């Protein structure tokens, strides 16, 4: 290859369209979360929100390897997973505002965003809640003989829950087509992993259950994408579960309003400047000439307009009324 | 200064994607802790008085601690050196090993024992200067450090540190590869075993495991018994460590290449590798790599992302780190009766 060659149209096995999609997903998550950070402070949003900003490369890198009929089980920090799995951003925003027209009709809020039609099993207020659910998904796929896979996201705090370790065991025993993705952002709520976790690497816990445990840089879309590609391929082929630990940082507190006195001064600023996933991704795709800066700027504008509309429509949407109170609550079998 | 040895054990080595794609080994931190204990026994037996240790986190320190507690309950415990942990912050990254190396060199240790893979050794070698290294592999995927019993490594390092075996006999001068990249982000790096140009367009999950992605390779030595690029190159032209030359290979599609070798590219992975050309490289001879969109891998890990505008050049240099030749030291010790009764320093025999 020489410098005079035409710009490449692919990066590895990713086409221009794949790369633009990945950037759009990450930018949408970032813009969604940055906007919520501002809007939450106004007091208009009921309940808690836990922002995913900083961790976008994980959701995007994992979900780029998934099909619409694959399943994702999420965490309390679930907006990024929902967006990457294809959930409607405007309906998500309405859900967070508790409005009719929300993805769960405005009755679930941030921590219960779900869309079963898209394989999004839901954000989950239970720490370590997704791994047992995903074992069920995996068993279902295995018994029905499909090649669907399930992905359970969990944090470093969640990785200390019995549910997580029991699920590693169950997935290994049943050889399930699942991934356990640990988003290790270094804090269980406000407790540093140095205090809450034995050993710095959650991935090593896979050894005890006989499944592969791999660590990647969670700020790097390509690192996550590549490892997930192999883990998903392995799961679809009957090779069983994988534990994938993504080392990452969150840009905001555990929840909005968290004063973060447990973090070092300038900790977040340093990460934003040196390891931001969007900056790194943009630099690689533009310096290689596959994508132009103008194309990325156009996505930035589209996304900003989308989030503006989503917030405006969410604010204007009606609340659920009294008649909605008990719908979808009771089920007759 | 009492006979002092430094120890750096990387608590995070060995978790890349090869565990997923080729069944590569995992190495438990508790075993690293036990290795340090056995190392201390070896060092103490020949009279090393002090060991300075990089803070050992992630279950490694606890494992060592358990062994030390058990040691204290032994009615006739082997003599151990005094153990001091370096006072330094930890960031759980390669910068920890780099800082620990600088602190140990400043402290004037006689040698540094390194527990880790090729990557950890590359970081230590970048900062250790003339301080000799005893290299211990914590995994099967390494070419530079050796898989070897820590007790024996402790004895050999101790013989050097206490002056019982002279440096001329104990040490081996290693070569190194210097990589210079000119372009938007100029940088210079060191590799101890190999430099490879990969068409992988990103650092990604770091490991090299797809033969078809590797286009050019330079190895500082080509060991037929090694796994990875050094072992692969050895199937073309074996080049012993310390031969004073490097080996350059240009790879090609096995379907059309004039030479195809079945190479152990990673643990659990033997693949056909096509070789278009190869040649020996003299020290100081510049080897420009073909400009390409891809990555430079150093010692088996993708480290530097390249664009076609970047210019990467590799040189072999003979001033790599000095390492302890454990077999040579132990052969000398045996031949000269250094471990026969009455020959060790009295303190080392437990006769205070």
Give residue-wise pLDDT tens across range A199-221: 778 998 998 999 999 999 999 99
Burial degree of B168 (CB within 10 A; 0-12, 13-18, 19+) = exposed
- Quote the CA–CA distance of A79 and A56 in Å, as a whole number: 10
Residue identified by tokens 């190159």 is: B233
> How far off is chain A from B178, nearest CA to CA, in Å?
23
CATH number reported for the structural domain that contains residue A166 in this entry: 3.40.50.970
CA B250 from chain center: how many Å?
Answer: 25
Name which of A32, A114, A110 is nearest A73 in CA terms: A114
Q: What is the pLDDT of residue A1?
A: 43
pLDDT in tens, chain B (352 residues): 889 999 999 887 667 888 888 777 777 778 888 899 999 999 999 999 999 999 877 677 878 888 888 777 778 888 889 999 989 988 878 899 999 999 999 999 999 999 998 889 999 999 999 999 999 998 767 889 988 999 999 999 999 999 999 999 999 999 999 999 999 889 999 999 999 999 999 999 888 888 899 999 999 999 998 889 999 999 999 999 989 999 999 999 999 999 999 999 888 889 999 999 999 999 999 999 999 999 999 998 899 999 999 999 999 999 999 999 999 999 999 999 999 887 766 555 444 3
Q: What is the pLDDT of residue B346?
A: 52
For chain B, what is the mean pLDDT? 90
**Residue A2 within any structural domain of the chain:** no
Q: Which of A187, A214, A239 to mutate to test the interface with B (most CBs of B within 10 A)?
A: A214
- Dump pLDDT digits (tens) for A174-195: 999 999 999 999 999 999 988 8
Q: Inform me whether the pLDDT recorded for A2 exceeds 80.
A: no
* Sequence-separated (6 or more) residues with CB below 8 Å from residue B252: B274, B275, B276
- Dump pLDDT digits (tens) for B120-159: 999 999 999 999 999 999 876 788 998 899 999 999 999 9
Count how many domains chain A has.
1
DSSP state string for A48-117: -----TT-HHHHHHHHTT--TTSEEE--SS-HHHHHHTT--HHHHHHHHTT-TTSTTTTSS-GGG--BGG
Helix axes A89-96, A16-40, angle to 10 degrees: 20
- Dump pLDDT digits (tens) for B90-106: 887 889 999 999 999 99
> How far off is chain A from B89, nearest CA to CA, in Å?
13
Q: Output DSSP code: residue B166.
A: -
ipTM of the complex: 0.84
- Quote the CA–CA distance of B262 and B346 in Å, as a whole number: 54
Once rounded to an integer, what is the mean pLDDT over residues A19-40? 97
CA distance to A215, A228, B184, per residue, from B204 (Å): 11, 11, 20
Of B21, B184, B203, the CB nearest to A223: B203
**Residue A5 within any structural domain of the chain:** no
Residue A328, φ and ψ in degrees, nearest 5 = 60, 15
* Sequence-separated (6 or more) residues with CB below 8 Å from residue A287: B184, B307
Once rounded to an integer, what is the mean pLDDT over residues A135-139? 98
CB A56 within 8 A of CB A29: yes
Look up the domain containing A130 and give its range. 10-317
Name which of A208, A209, A246 is nearest B29 in CA terms: A208
Of A213, A216, A288, the CB nearest to B205: A216
- Dump pLDDT digits (tens) for A290-331: 999 999 999 999 999 999 999 999 999 999 999 888 888 888
Going across the sheet that includes B269-281, the strands are: B259-266, B269-281, B246-252, B214-219, B194-198, B294-298, B301-306
Q: What is the pLDDT of residue B58?
A: 64
**Domain span(s) for CATH 2.60.200.30 in chain B:** 176-317
Predicted TM-score (pTM) of the model is: 0.90
Asked if B15 and A201 come within 8 Å (Cβ–Cβ), the reply is yes
| CA angle in degrees (0–180, nearest 5) for A213-A214-A219 | 140
**Residue A213 within any structural domain of the chain:** yes
Q: Note the CATH number of domain B176-317.
A: 2.60.200.30
């Amino acid at each position: 290859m020489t410098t005079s060659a035409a710009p490449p149209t692919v990066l590895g096995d990713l086409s221009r369209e794949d790369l633009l999609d990945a950037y759009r997903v990450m930018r949408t998550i970032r813009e969604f979360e940055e906007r919520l950070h501002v809007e939450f402070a106004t007091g208009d949003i009921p309940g808690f929100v836990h922002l995913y900003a900083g961790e976008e490369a994980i959701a995007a890198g994992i979900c780029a390897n998934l099909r619409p009929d694959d399943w994702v089980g999420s965490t309390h920090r679930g907006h990024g997973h929902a967006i990457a799995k294809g959930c409607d951003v405007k309906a998500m925003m309405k859900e967070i505002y508790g409005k009719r027209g929300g993805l769960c009709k405005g009755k679930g809020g941030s921590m219960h965003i779900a869309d079963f039609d898209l394989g999004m099993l839901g954000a989950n207020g239970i720490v370590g809640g997704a791994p047992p659910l995903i074992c069920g998904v995996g068993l279902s796929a295995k018994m029905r003989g499909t090649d669907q896979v399930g992905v359970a996201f969990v944090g470093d705090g969640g990785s200390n829950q019995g549910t997580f370790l029991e699920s590693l065991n169950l997935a290994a025993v049943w050889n399930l087509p699942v991934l356990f993705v640990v988003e290790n952002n270094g804090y269980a709520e406000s407790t540093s992993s140095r205090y809450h976790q034995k050993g710095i690497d959650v991935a090593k816990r896979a050894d005890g259950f006989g499944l592969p445990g791999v660590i990647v840089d969670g700020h790097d879309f390509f690192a996550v994408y590549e490892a997930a590609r192999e883990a998903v391929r392995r799961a679809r082929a009957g090779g069983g579960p994988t534990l994938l630990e993504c080392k990452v940082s969150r840009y905001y507190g555990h929840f909005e309003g968290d004063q973060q006195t447990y973090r070092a001064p300038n900790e977040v600023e340093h990460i934003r400047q040196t390891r931001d996933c969007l900056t790194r991704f943009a630099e690689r795709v533009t310096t290689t000439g596959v994508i132009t800066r103008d194309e990325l700027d156009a996505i930035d504008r589209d996304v900003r307009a989308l989030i503006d509309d989503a917030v405006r429509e969410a604010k204007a949407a009606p609340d659920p009324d009294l008649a909605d109170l008990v719908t979808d609550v009771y089920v007759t079998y | 200064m009492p006979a002092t040895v430094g120890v750096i054990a990387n608590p995070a080595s060995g978790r890349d994607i090869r565990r997923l794609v080729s069944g590569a080994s995992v190495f438990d931190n508790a075993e690293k802790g036990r290795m340090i204990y056995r190392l201390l026994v070896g060092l103490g037996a020949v009279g090393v008085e002090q060991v300075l240790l990089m803070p050992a986190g992630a279950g490694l320190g606890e494992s060592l601690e358990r062994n030390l507690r058990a040691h204290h309950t032994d009615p006739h415990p082997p003599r151990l050196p005094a153990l001091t942990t370096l006072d330094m912050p930890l960031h759980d990254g390669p910068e920890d090993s780099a800082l620990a190396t600088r602190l140990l060199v400043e402290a004037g240790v006689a040698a540094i024992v390194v527990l880790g893979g090729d990557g950890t050794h590359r970081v230590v070698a970048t900062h250790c200067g003339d301080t000799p290294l005893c290299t211990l592999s914590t995994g099967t995927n390494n070419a530079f450090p050796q898989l070897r019993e820590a007790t024996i490594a402790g004895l050999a390092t101790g013989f050097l540190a206490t002056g019982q075996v002279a440096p001329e006999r104990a040490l081996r001068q290693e070569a190194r590869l210097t990589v210079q990249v000119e372009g938007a982000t100029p940088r210079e790096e060191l590799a101890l075993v190999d430099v490879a140009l990969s068409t992988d367009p990103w650092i990604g999950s770091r490991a090299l495991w797809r033969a078809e992605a590797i286009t050019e390779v330079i190895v500082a030595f080509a060991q037929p018994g090694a796994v990875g690029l050094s072992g692969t190159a050895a199937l073309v032209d074996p080049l012993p460590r310390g031969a004073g030359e490097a080996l350059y290979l240009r790879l090609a599609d096995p379907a059309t290449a004039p030479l195809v070798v079945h190479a152990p590219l990673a643990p659990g992975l033997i693949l056909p590798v096509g070789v278009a050309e190869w040649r020996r490289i003299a020290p100081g001879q510049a080897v420009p790599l073909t400009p390409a969109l891809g990555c430079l891998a150093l010692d088996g890990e993708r480290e530097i992302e390249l664009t076609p505008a970047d210019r990467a050049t590799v040189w072999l240099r003979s001033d790599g780190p000095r390492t302890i030749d454990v077999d040579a030291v132990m052969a000398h010790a045996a031949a000269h009766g250094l471990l026969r009764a009455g020959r060790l320093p009295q303190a080392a025999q437990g006769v205070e």
